[in-house]
Amino acid sequence: MSLGGPGARRAFWCAIPVAALLAAYLPDLGHGFVKDDFAWILGSRVGSASELLQLFQRHNGFYRPLVSLTFTLNEQLFGLAPFGYGLTNLALVLVAMAGIYVLARSLGMVWGIALLAASLWAFNPHGVGGAILWISGRTSLLLIVFALAAAIALSRGFIVLAAIFCALALFSKEEAVLLPAILLVWAGLDPLAPRLTWRWRRARPWAVAALPPLALYFILRSQTAAFLPLSAPAYYRLTFSASTVARNALEYADRSCTFMAAVVLLMAAAARRKPRLDALERGWAVRGLVWLAGGFGITLFIPVRSSLYACFPAVGAAIAAAAVAHSVWRQASPRTRNALKVAAAILPFALVSLHRSRNVRMVRTAELSASVLDEVQAHAPELAAGHVLVLHDDAAARVNIRNAFGTLITDAVRLRTGLPSPLVWVEPVLPEWQQAGVEMPRGGPAIHLELKDGRLAPITP
């Protein structure tokens, strides 16, 4: 059966990973808010459109005003219905996929390999799923979207536009402070040289253009009390402990590269060809590795680990993997290429069940959050009268109050009930409460609710 002209065939192949991604995540969107989601929504509220610029004067420990802006817009559009927030995250992933595709094409990759790069990033089992289902994960997604836009603009010679997108990335997440350095290396590489060479003359225009966004970011950030390297909590404070850095390096290498390396190795095995990169492919690979290293330039030294930290660097891993895949494809026979096309059509859908299975715990946590807050809402009149709400957690359960709310249970109750200062406590006491500076509330009679078998109910005498 003919798929029509080249444009129709390209659209068909591009639709495959998109359809598989929708199948993997669309059914699991919007089951509830979790942890930091509550603080982002509360902290992003403004009285009117004229107050939107005030978001650039606020912080929640982190300085990410564009993330706050998206939560402001989400609440205006969707109220407190979590599905709309989750849909926004899924849309950002699709935009990021498109960005990787366009960037790869801008570097000179054929469209099929560019699509492979985008798909490798999107179907990586680590990071992207969390960024979709945990609404607060959009911090990484916004960083990636704007960083990709900056790289595309720079690769096409639009230096001022690249600087603007770089500023937007900076106002999305802290890891973007190394984006100018990443792109400085990219800008100095000569794509037409027979050998890989870097020249300051080529990089200098970008070096000059990158200074204003960096200066603007640091000036505005300095007007707030957002975390600094020495003022951040211990788990966010930079460490140079050899054991911590080594463990981070190994875990993040696994989370960002293992899946992509496995796909490329399987491709090489099927083609029975060893990757032999030419000058152009080496240039792509170097750019990808520079992005990978720069993306981990901060998080590598942070004690707390998160798969979300792998999302931004994994863009570089996808570009590097695509360069190696291009080498294999270039050497493959027509028959092998046809077989690889069949595998490319099947693999995204074969991965759907894997991603759905990995979604389960996060979905259950979101559902528990919604269920707990529904029960708490029934006690809103008592809370308004000054009663203390004591939630007795099921510490042995895999999904519990601690997983769903952490130290932000009070923010969650504020958001759900609309009460300005509800008195809420969790037993057993969470060790994180002391680090968060929260004290046991004092007030009137206590309402005791117990989590048992995944449901919150009053404790009977």
Q: What angle do CA 306, 309, 311 make, to 5 degrees?
A: 125
- 77 and 159 in a single domain? The answer is yes
Q: What is the pLDDT of residue 434?
A: 64
352 vs 143: CA distance, rounded Å: 26
Domain containing residue 406: 362-458
* Per-residue three-class SS string for the chain: CCCCCHHHHHHHHHHHHHHHHHHHHHHHCCCCCCCHHHHHHHHCCCCCHHHHHHHHHCCCCCCCHHHHHHHHHHHHHHCCCHHHHHHHHHHHHHHHHHHHHHHHHHCCCCHHHHHHHHHHHHCCCCCHHHHHHCHHHHHHHHHHHHHHHHHHHHHCCCHHHHHHHHHHHHCCCHHHHHHHHHHHHHHHECCCCCCCCECHHHHHHHHHHHHHHHHHHHHHHHCCCCCCCCCCCCCCCCCCCHHHHHHHHHHHHHHHHHHHHHHHHHHHHHHCCCCCCCHHHHHHHHHHHHHHHHHCCCHHHCCCCCHHHHHHHHHHHHHHHHHHHHHHHHHCCHHHHHHHHHHHHHHHHHCHHHHHHHHHHHHHHHHHHHHHHHHHHCCHHHHHCCCEEEEECCCCCCCCHHHHHCCCHHHHHHHHHCCCCCEEEEECCCCHHHHCCCCCCCCCCEEEEEEECCEEEECCC
55 vs 57: CA distance, rounded Å: 5
- 314 and 382 in a single domain? The answer is no
Q: What is the pLDDT of residue 1?
A: 37
Residue 342 lies in a domain: no
- 326 and 367 in a single domain? The answer is no
Q: What is the pLDDT of residue 74?
A: 97
374 vs 186: CA distance, rounded Å: 51
Q: What is the pLDDT of residue 2?
A: 44
Residue 345 lies in a domain: no
- 308 and 437 in a single domain? The answer is no
287 vs 285: CA distance, rounded Å: 5
- 314 and 389 in a single domain? The answer is no
Token pair recorded at residue 44: 């992003």
- 60 and 138 in a single domain? The answer is yes
- 378 and 299 in a single domain? The answer is no
Task: Give how many domains the chain has, as a whole number.
Answer: 2
CB 61 within 8 A of CB 227: yes
Residue 418 lies in a domain: yes
Residue 300 lies in a domain: yes
88 vs 95: CA distance, rounded Å: 11
Q: What is the pLDDT of residue 158?
A: 97
Residue 180 lies in a domain: yes
- 43 and 191 in a single domain? The answer is yes
Which residues of the chain have a pLDDT value below 50? 1-2
* Residue given tokens 């498109």 in the structure block: 98
CB 308 within 8 A of CB 140: yes
Residue 307 lies in a domain: yes
- 279 and 428 in a single domain? The answer is no
Which residues, listed in sequence order, are joined to residue 153 by a DSSP beta bridge? none
- 30 and 134 in a single domain? The answer is yes
* 374 closest CA partner among 82, 69, 5, 20: 82
Q: What is the pLDDT of residue 3?
A: 54
* 206 closest CA partner among 192, 185, 227, 226: 185
pTM assigned to the model: 0.94
CB 390 within 8 A of CB 456: no
116 vs 139: CA distance, rounded Å: 24
138 vs 89: CA distance, rounded Å: 6
Residue 250 lies in a domain: yes
Q: Which of 283, 314, 332 is the last residue of a domain?
A: 332
- 156 and 293 in a single domain? The answer is yes
Q: Which of 281, 315, 332 is the last residue of a domain?
A: 332
368 vs 374: CA distance, rounded Å: 10
Q: What is the pLDDT of residue 435?
A: 63
- 113 and 257 in a single domain? The answer is yes
Q: Kindly calculate the radius of gyration of the chain based on its CA atoms and give it in whole angstroms.
A: 24
CB 279 within 8 A of CB 194: yes
308 vs 402: CA distance, rounded Å: 20
Residue 251 lies in a domain: yes
Q: Which of 314, 332, 350 is the last residue of a domain?
A: 332
